[in-house]
Amino acid sequence: MAPPRSAMSGGYHFTEGGRDVKARFAAAGPPDRPRRPGQGDGRRPEKSTDTVTKAFPASQKKRRRADIFPLKDDRSALSLKGTHWDKETCMRTKTVGVRGVGFWALLLMLGLALAAGPAWGQGKGAPDFNLPDISTGKEYSLSQFKGKVVVINFFTFFCGPCREEMPDLNKIHNEMKGQGLAMLGIGLSSSPTQLRFLAKQLDLEYPILIGDDKVSKAYGGVEVVPTTFILDKSGKIAHKILGTRKKEEFVRMIQPLL
């Protein structure tokens, strides 16, 4: 025998002892469910969206996000007169250029540079400059290091390979500064806040200077970071290095010049 048709819904409802089973459950209300932890009944706990400050000690969590990782306020630092630094290749390219081709574009550029023969400025006198230090504001000039072997490392805050190389440069600075070596880092397209953050994060002990478009052009137009120049005691460019090198490779190039 088919169950009786409900007059209200037009569907079929099962009955138990003449009573509509669906109506009985409706009157009893929904079954008790365990409450989720959080604010209110059955609400999910609120999740923090601040992924930056979680990585820092509790004493620093009250600091503003921009103070800890100042990207939002300094995005304009990425642009330099119609060019930008590509974070993947660490190359400065036209705004509508080769962005996205990544590793292969870098290989092509390095290959063309090698095929072109001697690096720009090699054997010539290095251009002088006056740039402020990020910590003290003191201006450094190249001329004050006359008679020393000088390593000039151009980098940007957003360059991953630069960060990997800098601890080795710091070791070279500490080990060879007593032998007549001067190490200088020049940050391009980066704010003073970003450069101070990076220097503190990596415990860099050599001077980090705030670079600009003028010094970049003076050194042939820095298109790849890191770019490193090694100068002999007479102030001439002995080596121009595109990309990163290991500590041992730097030492092999520096040692004969001391």
The burial of 121, by beta-carbon neighbours within 10 Å (0-12 exposed, 13-18 middle, 19 or more buried), is given as middle
What is the percent of the chain with per-residue pLDDT over 70, rounded to a whole number? 53
Q: Residue 8 has what pLDDT?
A: 45
Q: 34 pLDDT exceeds 90? A: no
In 39-148, DSSP assigns E strands to: 79-80, 83-86, 91-94, 130-132, 139-141
pLDDT one-digit tens code per residue, 114-123: 544 456 678 8
CA–CA distance, 12 with 135 (Å, rounded to integer): 81
pLDDT value, residue 179: 97
Q: Tell whether the model's pLDDT for residue 199 goes beyond 90.
A: yes
Q: The pTM is what?
A: 0.60
**Distance (Å, rounded) from C-alpha 221 to C-alpha 204?**
25
Residue 192 or residue 59, greater confidence: 192
Please state, in angstroms and as integers, the Cα–Cα distance from residue 227 to each residue in 19, 96, 144, 180, 244, following that order. 85, 23, 22, 22, 8
- The burial of 27, by beta-carbon neighbours within 10 Å (0-12 exposed, 13-18 middle, 19 or more buried), is given as exposed
- Give tens-digit pLDDT for 146-164: 999 999 999 999 999 999 9
pLDDT at 123: 84
DSSP bridge pairs for 91: 86, 224
Give the model's confidence band at 49: pLDDT under 50 very low, under 70 low, under 90 confident, else very high: very low
* pLDDT range class, residue 83, cuts 50, 70, 90: very low
User: Looking at residues 59-79, what average pLDDT do you find?
Assistant: 33
Pick among 3.40.30.10, 3.40.50.300, 1.10.3720.10, 3.90.550.10: CATH of 103-257: 3.40.30.10
